[in-house]
Amino acid sequence: MKTYRKELWFDVPTRKAFINITPLVEECLTESGVKEGLILVNAMHITASVFINDDESGLHHDFDVWLEKLAPHAPISQYRHNISEDNADAHMKRQVMGREVVVAITKGKLDFGPWEQIFYGEFDGRRRKRVLVKIIGE
């Protein structure tokens, strides 16, 4: 069995963003040489997400509006976590959007359903943060 591990680094200039990381994950898969197996992609920070959905800008806007209703950034003082920080909302948004995805690898390709793409969700950016890619298989 082969194993592969890589960290993808992001430095998002805004507080929030959704980035399609599918091409980067596909590069990892090619590098790994794995043809049949599983790929795990997870955010290594508790204020960022990795999730699978459609690469459609209207939907991304809708996610943003929905998350801002669920966990508004302001007023910062509404959160107990923000006694020493200002990112309580980012922790909550990450919790809703998820930590990781697992995708099957079949014949050397990501075995997606229709329109599935992998996204990095940033909720407290403006600093360097990582995503872990782990691949196992043969």
State how far the Cα of 34 lies from the Cα of 137, in Å rounded to an integer. Answer: 6
Contact 126, 17 (CB under 8 A): no
Which of 85/111 has CB closer to Zn ion? 85
85 lies in the binding site for Zn ion (CB under 5 A):
yes
Q: Which stretch binds Zn ion (CB under 5 A): 3-11, 36-44, 48-56, 84-92?
A: 84-92
Which of 32/87 has CB closer to Zn ion? 87
C-beta of 45: minimal distance to Zn ion in Å?
10
State how far the Cα of 119 lies from the Cα of 20, in Å rounded to an integer. Answer: 4
Contact 123, 49 (CB under 8 A): yes
State how far the Cα of 13 lies from the Cα of 16, in Å rounded to an integer. Answer: 9
In sequence order, which residues have a C-beta less than 8 Å from that of residue 35 and are 6 or more positions away?
105, 107, 108, 137, 138
C-beta of 84: minimal distance to Zn ion in Å?
8
C-beta of 112: minimal distance to Zn ion in Å?
33
C-beta of 85: minimal distance to Zn ion in Å?
4
Which position among 28, 87, 97, 118 is part of the footprint of Zn ion (CB under 5 A)? 87
Sites of contact with Zn ion (CB under 5 A): 85, 87
